[in-house]
Amino acid sequence: MKFNRAEEIWLIVGVGILVLSMVITGYQGFAKSMGPPSGMETLDPEKVDEHELFSEPGVYQVGENKYEVVMTLSAFQFTPNNIEIPVGAEVEFIMTSKDVIHGFQVAGTNLNAMVTPGYIQRISKTFDEAGEFLVLCNEYCGIGHQIMGTTITVK
């Protein structure tokens, strides 16, 4: 089969773009560990309060300028409700839902996660600026969804 020279060029360019996108995606997924969460950590959503990790939700310092925020999300509330952390702290949010699918979005940042019953969601962020950040549920979770919010205060 004989191709026109312009067809050959566009075929090479098209295949090159496909190969390049697969290489970039593979590099990000394997070398930089930027793949989606695997959902490997599970728990019984009816026994969240009995689970060792979620029996006492709160903010815990786990290292020098490193914090864990253990949260449970349930009918129109985040527990703990108000979170305070120092500027420059690396924070890992460890969350689960007790009832339905909830969202965890920190306005003004790139933090956005779906929190599903039966699974443990982990997401990290370093807060480099002081301020008060609004946390919203961005997944419709019932009739009181619009009141589900809290704040993260960075001092």
Asked if 72 and 141 touch (Cβ cutoff 8 Å), the reply is no
Q: What is the pTM of this model?
A: 0.75
Predicted local distance difference test score (pLDDT) of residue 37: 61
Q: Does domain 45-154 have CATH number 2.60.40.420?
A: yes
The stretch 15-20 carries a mean pLDDT of 97
pLDDT of 19 > 80? The answer is: yes
Residue with the two structure tokens 């339905």: 100
DSSP state string for 82-147: EEEE-TT-EEEEEEEESSS-EEEEETTSS-EEEE-BTB-EEEEEE--S-EEEEEE--S--STTGGG
**One-letter identity of residue 142:** G
Per-residue pLDDT tens over the stretch 68-84: 999 999 989 999 988 99
Residue 54 pLDDT exceeds 80? yes
* Beta pairing class for 90-97 and 66-74: parallel
- pLDDT recorded at residue 57: 94
